[in-house]
Amino acid sequence: MPSLRARIVNLLLPRLGIKRFFSEPDKIPGRIAKMRNTAPARPGAKMHRKFAIKEFASRGFPVITIEPKHGATPGAPHLLYLHGGGYVMDAAVIHWSAIGRLCEALGASATVPLYPLAPESTASATLPAMRSVFAELALRYGAQNITLMGDSAGGGMALALAQILAADGAAMPGSLVLFSPWLDATASGEGQAEIEPRDKMLTCAGLTACGALYAGDLPLTDPQVSPLFGSLKALPPMAVFAGTSDILLPDARRLAVRLDEAGRKDCVYHEYDAMFHVWMLFPVPEGRKALAQAVDFIRAQHKKG
């Protein structure tokens, strides 16, 4: 059974308005237009006390770097974190707190691109931009020393980026971590409709609508948009986290099956009973446990590298 705190958070999730956003696909374009009038959340005062935080805009979109005040621990990995938000929403406060906890636990630095959002940008433009960010970090830190990670849409983007790097024979990150990843933009996985009533954040129709905005001229099944349908060859060790009260659960399960069938013993799958979408970002015991598991996985893969 979920912790009391997790149950309370789950009851309060509808107040965030995310479920309402995804429940009315015809209103999504207008709501996106209104959201663009609000600046993305930035790291708060607590993070500034612990980390040296810088923001760069030379790429045409903000890229935020986070480093412990006294410098990263020697030999620590560097995190490239791609935030979720259905490809149409900016990073939220909970993203920064979770990234801060990861950096603190690992003694690591991190790069967080506030990447161009749909519909203003689509996968055909956003993924090359993220590849450019990764290439720059690979030169600075060494590709093997980078953990590529993301939640929800950011998790899908992270996997798609890794697939593109692998297809091109490029240097790969040392590990890949996916939190509640959105891997199939068609939102047609078996069981998703049955899960939807207990998911307090997402709907199938809303996901498909946002997926179409991000896809642009690409079909929703294109691996750039739905990396579940892409190749898993030559990918780095991977940790995947999913909850059974999340309509993206079937995406993660299908990925786990494919990895198992490929004999990928270096990949791990964590499924939490009755946990909601991106619970690992929230201040609940299960969230702390998931982040600790991610830290252990990253640390183990980094030592191997």
- Does position 204 have pLDDT exceeding 90, yes or no? yes
- Does position 304 have pLDDT exceeding 90, yes or no? no
Q: What is the CATH number of the domain that holds 191?
A: 3.40.50.1820
119 preceded by a cis bond (ω within 30 of 0)? yes
Distance CA(210)–CA(8), nearest Å, equals 28
Between residues 70 and 121, the one the model is more confident about: 121
Distance CA(289)–CA(281), nearest Å, equals 11
152, 174 contact by CB (below 8 A): no
pLDDT by residue (tens digit) across 160-181? 999 999 999 999 999 999 999 9
> What was the pLDDT predicted at 226?
98
Distance CA(9)–CA(26), nearest Å, equals 28
Domain extent at residue 233:
4-304
Structural domains counted in the chain: 1
> What was the pLDDT predicted at 305?
65
141, 204 contact by CB (below 8 A): no
pLDDT by residue (tens digit) across 212-260? 999 999 999 999 999 999 999 999 999 999 999 999 999 999 999 999 9
Q: What is the mean pLDDT of the chain?
A: 96
Question: Global pTM?
Answer: 0.97
Pairing of strands 146-151, 78-82: parallel
286, 275 contact by CB (below 8 A): yes
